Amino acid sequence: MITMAEIARLTHVSQPTVSRVLNGNTKVAPEIRERVLACAREHDYQLNALAKGLQGSRTHLLGVLVTDIANGFFADLAKQIEIAARQRGYSIILFNSDYNPQNEQEYLDVVRRYRVDGVLAVPIRETSTEWHDYVKKLDVPVVTITRHAAGLDSFYVDHAAAGAQVAQHLLDRGYRRFLFIGKDYDGKYVGFHRYLAEKGFADATTNRVLQDHDQLRRELEAWYRGGTARAAVFAGNDIYALQVLDIVRKLGLSVPEQVGVIGFDDTSMGRYLNPRLSTVSQPTADMARQAVGWLLDLIEHPGEHTPEEHAFPAQLILREST
Amino acid sequence: MITMAEIARLTHVSQPTVSRVLNGNTKVAPEIRERVLACAREHDYQLNALAKGLQGSRTHLLGVLVTDIANGFFADLAKQIEIAARQRGYSIILFNSDYNPQNEQEYLDVVRRYRVDGVLAVPIRETSTEWHDYVKKLDVPVVTITRHAAGLDSFYVDHAAAGAQVAQHLLDRGYRRFLFIGKDYDGKYVGFHRYLAEKGFADATTNRVLQDHDQLRRELEAWYRGGTARAAVFAGNDIYALQVLDIVRKLGLSVPEQVGVIGFDDTSMGRYLNPRLSTVSQPTADMARQAVGWLLDLIEHPGEHTPEEHAFPAQLILREST
DNA sequence: AAGAGATAAGAATACGCATTCACAGCAAGG
DNA sequence: CCTTGCTGTGAATGCGTATTCTTATCTCTT
């Protein structure tokens, strides 16, 4: 791989001059400029980003930390981030925490090792003080995306509010008993439960973690038989919702008459399911673009700033399943 | 961020000694070793990977180039790659070509800029000589994954063979008219068509590119009405298959009796659809692990080697839709 | 007890780039 | 014709690390 020094030797100038030509900020004699450019083109010169990064300025690397890239929602997010970053000349180093806090920690070390310019992170828990503190000690800007993190710049949809919207919708549709499938610390569940409690349905709300399809089936059946009021299931994501639909079908129950089902994430498949799946859509592309823009501004115009939290609205996509 | 020189100053030793302690290969006095390690721990030292990379050895960076990370199959692939790479101490820089050859080229420049140690790529076309030549000029090892690329190390499932397997299965099940949904240069279609032609069904095979759901619906309907023999649709991926199922349902046709449907990729949703989707599974995790292993061996034990092509078997997952 | 060999640590250097500093050449002004 | 000021270029330097080379200290042998 050819270097500036090499080009300098070939064109009988000094290395700094080559640097000046290639960066184009300083004035340099036209003849020399041409000679150097020609030589660079001829040998297909590529800047050594490591040397440039070491030298002190930016590395033009962004760390992207997600919980699970195999999840369609995050995959989509990553894609949008990658596009936005590329447009502004940054490359991304991708990390998967796999919902394991230990990995999450280790990745921050990788971030430091490579002197990444900034980080876009989907933290595992919204309220992990350890992680939070660790991030604060980092001297690179970190923007939280998809999750709300107090005291950090964050771009997110208010899951609690979305959960409440779902609750309201289900009540409107006449459902009176509710089941949430997902982690109980999930903001969606918190908002969902709170809203229903305010309306006097605290006892009618249950929360189940999805371990395994067969177990869910047993629990779902028991739950359904356990009451007479009209029942609805709120699934933490569309994949869960799909499984619920399958189980409900097997139980011989009709959707949306006997059981209502609503998902989350607005995965593309929802539109083609039978019945078409009601779900909640997040402005992924918008969030990603704005988060990247914000982060890059932070990077390129450093200085004191107070973290801001940017909430985006969730949108109910109402289809046949409710 | 603290450096080796800084630690050296604090512990009253020289920078090379700190390097020796931290790398642990050379002998150094126990007392000094302890002092340095304590100091490093206390200040939470992190190696500057840029400097190390510049210095000449490895960068411990891998380039991962996929066509579309938002596609569940590639997302899954990326996840497996990331896991395998992490286990051996490598981080990955992710690129999305978005099926745009120009992006594909540009990414190779990024690869060179960051002095990436190696590349795992899903090329857009299996037979792009330009790309192929460009890759050969690169002085880093490149392993092709998911696609077969002549003259390069590649890990892939033989799509043509898989297409033939599908054809055979559909014939076994009594289907006699066939439609493929996907790009016509797709290996799956090639093998599918060839096998059917050998059995005398050349005229009964049609190929359609999926542009848009409504258009597909019209074409599918016309195709179905256009003959009397039992019909089956082979979709290039599970998402297409899902759309086909939806259309077929709308047309009031029964699956698998009147129309058979089979997908590709074995997405997790297939198991929960109604009817459960027959599909083709690729050993993604295996391929990813082996590809990464192979690439890292190439990196860590350089030298002459002749590229090898590793074909993996596709597995038919037969469920209710055929 | 003195010289040879081993061992541990410091000094110097290179990697590729950007930047600061110094200097040569030249135009303009007195 | 000499000074002032500007412009374009080269020399020197630092970023953080690993490595090579050198030197000082110590152990062992005879």
Interchain contact, A92 vs B94, CB within 8 Å? yes
Number of C-beta neighbours around residue B217 at 10 A: 17
**A93, B93 in Cβ contact below 8 A?**
yes
Query: What is the model's pLDDT at position A285?
Result: 93
Query: Per the structure block, which two tokens stand in for A8?
Result: 């300098």
| pLDDT value at A127 more than 80 | no
Question: Which residue does chain B place closest to A50, by CA atoms?
Answer: B50
Evaluate if residue B127 carries a pLDDT over 80.
Answer: no
Rg of the Cα atoms in chain A: 26
Mean pLDDT of B217-240: 94
Chain B CB contacts of A71 under 8 Å are 75
Average pLDDT over residues B20-27: 88
Nearest to B2 by CA among B63, B51, B48, B55: B48
Residue A266's alpha-carbon distances to A270, A281, A282, A293, in angstroms, are 7, 5, 8, 24
DSSP letters spanning A80-141: HHHHHHHHTT-EEEEEE-TT-HHHHHHHHHHHHHTT-SEEEE--SSTT-HHHHHHHHHSSS-
Q: What does the pLDDT look like over A32-62, one tens digit per residue?
A: 999 999 999 999 999 999 999 998 879 999 9
pLDDT at A184 over 90: no
**Any atom of strand C under 7 A from CB of A10?**
no
Looking at the predicted structure, is the pLDDT value of residue B57 above 90?
no
Nearest to B94 among A49, A51, A94 (CB): A94
Cα dihedral sign, A157-A160-A162-A165: negative
Give chain B's length: 322
Residue A279 · residue A265 · CB < 8 Å? yes
- pLDDT score at B304: 81
Confidence class for position B75, pLDDT limits 50, 70, 90: very high
* pLDDT at residue B314, rounded to an integer: 96
The DSSP element (H or E) to which B66 belongs, if any, is strand B61-66
Q: Are B317 and B280 in contact (CB under 8 A)?
A: yes
Taking all residues of chain A, what is their mean pLDDT, rounded to a whole number? 92
Which has more confidence, B302 or B159?
A: B159
Q: What local confidence, expressed as pLDDT, does residue A302 receive?
A: 83
Q: What is the pLDDT of residue A241?
A: 96
Judged against a pLDDT cut of 90, whether residue A1 lies above it is answered with no
Summary mean pLDDT of chain B: 92
Asked if B59 CB < 7 A from strand C, the reply is: no
Helix (H, G, I), strand (E, B) or coil at A30: helix
For B181-210, write each residue's pLDDT tens digit.
998 888 899 999 999 999 999 888 888 888
pLDDT of residue A280: 98
pLDDT bin (cut points 50, 70, 90) of residue A129 is confident
How many DSSP H helices and E strands does chain B contain?
Answer: 12, 12
The confidence score (pLDDT) of residue B24 equals 85
pTM of the model: 0.87
Instruction: Please determine, for residue A273, whether its predicted confidence score (pLDDT) is greater than 80.
Output: yes
DSSP per-residue string spanning A231-280: EEEEESSHHHHHHHHHHHHHTT--TTTTEEEE-SS--GGGGGSSSPPBEE
Question: Which of A128-142, A203-217, B261-275: highest mean pLDDT?
Answer: B261-275
Type of residue found at A54: L
Q: What integer is the mean pLDDT of B22-29? A: 87
Q: Which helix (H) or strand (E) holds A25?
A: none
CA separation for the pair B322, B317 (Å, rounded): 10
- Answer for A28: CB within 7 Å of strand D: yes
Percent of chain B with pLDDT strictly greater than 90: 74
Q: Do B68 and A47 touch (CB under 8 A)?
A: no
The pLDDT assigned to A72 comes to 84
Task: Give the mean pLDDT of B245-251.
Answer: 95
Residue B294 CA to residue B309 CA, distance in Å, equals 11
**In chain A, what are the domains?**
4-47 (1.10.260.40), 61-157+284-312 (3.40.50.2300), 159-281 (3.40.50.2300)
Q: How confident is the model at residue A183 (pLDDT cuts 50, 70, 90)?
A: confident
From the CA of A23, how many Å to the C1' of D2? 39
Residue B137 has pLDDT above 90, yes or no: no
B56 class by beta-carbon count within 10 Å (0-12 exposed, 13-18 middle, 19+ buried):
exposed
Residues 6+ apart with CB under 8 A from A27: none
Q: What is the pLDDT of residue A56?
A: 80
| Residues whose CB is less than 8 angstroms from the CB of residue B45 and which lie 6 or more positions away in sequence, other chains included | B2, B4, B7, B22, B39
Mean local confidence (pLDDT), B68-87: 93
From the CA of B80, how many Å to the nearest CA of chain A? 9
pLDDT, tens digit, 9 for 90 and up, residues B85-124: 999 999 999 999 998 989 998 899 999 999 999 999 998 8
